[in-house]
Structure 1
Amino acid sequence: MAEVIDRTDTSVRLDVFARSTLLTGSATLFDDVEQNFELLSLTSRALFFEAAFDIVGKALGYSSDVDVEKLMATVSSGVLATAPARAREEQSRILGLLGVSITPEGAFTLRIDDYVVSGFIEVELIELGSAFGSTRFAAGITHAIDVSKNVIAALLVIALTSQPLGGTVSVSGEAGTIFVCSINAPISGDMDRIIDDAISDLIFDGPQDQVPKSVWKARQLCLYRLGFNPGKIDGKYGRKTKAAERAFSKAFGDVHVNWSSKVFARFVLENSNSKYQRELSISEPKKERSRRR
């Protein structure tokens, strides 16, 4: 049934709210409402599209001459802190080269081949005195190719609500270092339904040698998001995919890889952003050692 639904014009819709606060050594920044808004707005845009390209782009084998990491550079350099209008212009330029059209109001369309993610990003400053803000990511996901949009939606929601994507971004400027910190990220809408639909697209009730390519593509994408490289997302259960499964099992206490189990599929989805957790835990001790030197 998932195969039929995936080829219609229906879309999976997600609605995620993030709460952020700005911290800085310069008290004067908090009095600049427009600059506070730009900090939150451009950071939110960069985080969303970084996740979207990492997930959707990897699923489709997308390649571009434009480095997606440049999106984050627009919020991690002094340009944003000293010239927010120029930073917004640069970010919009990079997004355009990546195939994203976005309006000043935050409505966007990301199109890669036949795969489309469209929606809007809203940023609202709530408590100006402490620069406390709210960001809403709302999107509809449609496609006409054999990568599960339900799995894409689930991975995107989890990415937006997990560390360090939902963590802290630092911006260095003339006023010192500014930190944009996400302090929680509640999900509005039927998260259980999104996860359940994604689970349905990961499991296959039949002989494992007859698993459709679309199902294996979804599984490979989950392994990739877990931090275990399955090679090309091609829907083939080959040597690299098997190696990724073994590495995943070892990293999670020799957990039994059983794609026909709903419990296992849920475990995979809920840990899908763990590669970023591991990268963060690896990098932090290194930073600590470098300080001691």
Structure 2
Amino acid sequence: MEIQRAGFVGLGLMGAPMAANLAKKGWTVTAWNRSPGALEDFRRVGGSAAGGVEQLRDEPVIAFMLPDVAYIEDAAVGLLASWQAAPPAAGTAVVVMSSVSPTAVKAFGQKVQEASSGNAVVVDAPVSGGTKGAIEGTLAIMAGADDEADFRRLQPFFEAMGTTVRLLGPLGAGSLAKACNQLVVGTTTAALAEAAELAERSGVDVAALYEVLSGGLAGSRVLEQVGPRIARKDYAPTGPAKFMHKDLSFVVESADAAGSAVPMARAGVELYAELKRQGLGDQDLAVVRQTISNLSRTGAVRATEGTDS
């Protein structure tokens, strides 16, 4: 029997259209968000609002779309306390849909199981596709669940928001897959930004360059979606660039645990840390071009060209 009722925590740039798609697909969705304006907008698409996260305690599915596990744990304090006093129904699912540390989401899963007397499970299911995919309901959803039956039960929930839904392994596997996704997206965006700055400073039209690149091996979804914003220097946020630093840090954390070398991820962590230091973190990911431009202007580029080793 399909679950058709859910709670949703976090109505930001991604969470709001995701929750709206659930409501539009016939789900009864009750949401909580820190700012009331987003809840008013959600009511207009058929959703309802909770006064606090603990009021979602009896929903069979409770999704969290908050920046990191620390935010989720803060939001869930009342919920877990409620479950300690009176456990939820068996099979309750807490779904972490944001980009979080694979290690931290496993620890959160243990906390939820203990607080709920084993009646609630955590499934991590981060998404990819940006705000465009969230609005259109075409997200890629990568899940981790200790019991495959929990994932199967949640498939209708996921399919209301995405078109590519896969179980990658146990709890934490979804977050590891998202970290790998961000490794590709973050470093590819940085490479495109470097290419744009190099081209423009050399007298080559960036839009024309990207058009040529798109027809060859360098063509990618990142070039297709982020490239136009990089070319026209449009940094209006579709998602804060500062989160890429966090996500690439998860790649490094996971690589250290697995004994895997990730030189590109480590370079990316440094570049996006510089982006944050420049005060650009709240702008779009494409703003990494401005970061590189600023480094060029200040002479902070540590070039080694022309040296012998």
TM category (shorter chain) comes to: under 0.3
- Give 1 or 2: higher strand fraction: 1
Higher RCO structure, 1 or 2 (CA under 8 Å, sep 6+): 1
Larger radius of gyration: 2
TM-score (norm 2): 0.22
